[in-house]
Amino acid sequence: MAVGVFDSGIGGLTVLDAITRRLPDLPLVYLGDNAHAPYGVRTHDDIFNLTCAAVERLWDEGCDLVILACNTASAAALKRMQETWLPADKRVLGVFVPMIEALTERNWGDNSPPREVAVKHVALFATPATVASRAFQRELAYRAIGVDVEAQPCGGVVDAIEQGDEILAEALVRSHVEALLRRMPHPEAAVLGCTHYPLMESTFQDALGDGVKVYSQANLVAESLADYLTRRPKMLGTGTASKFLTTGDPKAVSSKATQFLRRRIDFQSA
């Protein structure tokens, strides 16, 4: 009954942690493609191929349902995977839709036409590949009209977080927020479109000001997954054990992950 959680690095651990709190009895298999991180500067074809390989590895672990806890993979690969590659008995879900549903105050599965929503000016902070894909804007347009989105590619932030350099990460976040505010001086909401960014949420909030509501993904994805499994319990796979896998150096990744979540995490080679 295991569910897979995939990210290019360790950022998806924020999603795994939230799922663990929401569904404490659910076995989770986490796979970080640390050998090829970061994805945010790769081509869409490269991201697609790497993501497919990772998802197949999680299927080998008995995970028929895989969460792409990586906005770059969700933006650049998910739609193509679902349309051209995914077998009928497997499911791969992304992290964009739960956040957009929260932003537009729509329930899961609400397929009514797009409508006016309260929030009109939205700042999106994401990796360069996620911004270039325009996937967030596309998904938002299915659900809302009249919303202005200003996207800021946040180069360097993921690398700084992965390297444990909080001072550099904070400086980069503030620089990226300043750049966005020059183009959109008064956003009403800000979307943190990368699962690494919750670790810097307080810095984003401080730089944006108290008047901007910041949407972070982890808890929203966990709640959406709980709802999904209630409606589709057959998507629980055959896996029974929780584990952490990496394409990188398990010792180095374990050390970073332990610092990242502030609890002991032990990775194995994928």
Give the residue numbers annotated as catalytic, written as ranges: 70, 194
Distance of CA 9 to CAs 127, 128, 214, 267, Å? 13, 16, 23, 12
Give the distance, in angstroms, between the CA of residue 238 and the centroid of all CA atoms in the same chain.
24
Distance CA 34, CA 247 (A): 6
For the stretch 209-217, contacts whose Cβ atoms lie closer than 8 Å and that sit 24 or more positions apart, written own/partner, are: 212/123, 212/187, 212/188, 213/119, 213/188, 213/189, 214/189, 214/190, 215/99, 215/102, 215/103, 215/189, 215/190, 215/191, 216/192, 217/14, 217/15, 217/71, 217/95, 217/98, 217/99, 217/192, 217/193
Is 247 within 8 Å of 34 (Cβ atoms)?
yes
Q: Over the range 170-186, which residues count as b (16 or more CB within 10 Å of their CB) and which as e?
A: bebbeebbeebbeebee
Distance CA 32, CA 104 (A): 31
The string of DSSP codes covering 49-95 is: HHHHHHHHHHHHTT-SEEEE--HHHHHHTHHHHHHHT--TT-EEE-S
